[in-house]
Structure 1
């Protein structure tokens, strides 16, 4: 295909509950592996990143179906990598195609990711807000959030109990009208909202800030999230342990 400006609008950043959409094909490239790369002008497919797994699903036209096996963010565009259902199938440049992601997985990923943010709120509520969140792993199996600093061994069991109680209290008492908000700000606006910008974010670039509710301080995040805290349903903090100079809070999302 002929080259065209490669820029993909990330629809998942504006609506995590958008499970079907359309897009215009920018490029289709065959890779050395024999698989194909499909690039469209807008996508609902979230790439793996920020501790969250990538979506699964298909891109299709009237005469071709493409199974998305991997998703990569490449600067301003997103690569959908996978295979066509039959040999010889392809998409044409500027062709309108439909996108369908696995709704069950997307909802699970959004719940698990938002649960990590809710644990941040609960840490603050139980008196450990001075520990700054570090990395997070938001896969359904083995999910955790790490905080910079160590909680003493003799306080970890009590912290686990307090966190589980605080999480339940936040979910149970959240107002129905208090929905989550994901908004893209300019760098300067984000600095005003957050007070300071994490050093890993490039200066001058727009920053997407997610707030689960009015009381949430918010944080920069490119992942998918629930529309309301009650959609998380329940969280169980299962273990708190020391990881080098950090404290790891392991958790799972549970159905109520």
Structure 2
């Protein structure tokens, strides 16, 4: 049944859409021991975990507020999956379950805003490297981890140990100059319909949430550069 389900991904259209109405399509058990369930809806503002970005959290509630499902995790079963799974539990005081009536999906706004800033900051570092002369031929973007507990971006390439301190200083100056320029963040589609995000001048395929302009990121600070085999990791924070 789930293979036939479709969820409209509203978070692609507006990072700052924090609430929507939806129709519940399917409810199933997630983990019997933990008492969690999965709710699938026809549309959602909740971004699933993936692409280096943590999932949103929040609630799905009946319009009268009598039934509230607390969402602790959001996921897709596969990258190309057409439906989104909201994982969580009903509040103890909830009455009944969801029926055919519309529900209200609400996300934790503070968490979404932070996730978007961290994700956009990771992309901005790509542009900052270009500005200080490190092209994508020298440092090929590999992956990013945009979680609050220690975000980083990785590249295939090398920055010699003796140059890393200077590069961090240059990178911080360059990235924060791009922040001050308050450049609009653009999202376009490639020939296959995929999303191409441009943060500060460098384009990258991405399915995550982003700020509207670089000025919303705030201060970016690269904290260290490390290397393992052929991979350079740049750790950073936003302040």
CA distance in 2, matches of 1:78, 1:143: 25
CA-to-partner distance for each residue in 1:131-190, whole Å, 9 max, x for gaps?
11101100112110011011111110110000011012111233xxx4212234441xxx
Structure 2, unaligned runs of 5 or more:
none
**Mapping of residues 185-196 of structure 1, within 5 Å:** 185-187=190-192
CA contact (8 A) 2:21 2:104 kept: yes
SS in 2 for 1:218: strand
Give the alignment's Cα RMSD to 1 decimal.
1.7
Aligned length: 229
CA contact (8 A) 2:53 2:119 kept: yes
Structure 2-normalised TM-score? 0.91
CA-to-partner distance for each residue in 1:168-224, whole Å, 9 max, x for gaps?
2111233xxx4212234441xxxxxxxxxxxxxxxxxx31111125xx231110101
CA distance in 1, matches of 2:31, 2:222: 44
1:240 counterpart residue number:
225
1:207 counterpart residue number:
194
Deviation at 1:88, TM superposition (A): 5.9
CA distance in 1, matches of 2:134, 2:52: 22
Equivalent of 1:160, from 141, 163, 168?
Answer: 168
CA contact (8 A) 1:111 1:231 kept: yes
CA contact (8 A) 1:57 1:101 kept: yes
2:185 counterpart residue number:
180
SS in 1 for 2:51: coil
1:72 counterpart residue number:
75
CA contact (8 A) 2:126 2:202 kept: no
Structure 1-normalised TM-score? 0.85
CA distance in 2, matches of 1:31, 1:233: 38
Equivalent of 1:106, from 98, 102, 112?
Answer: 112
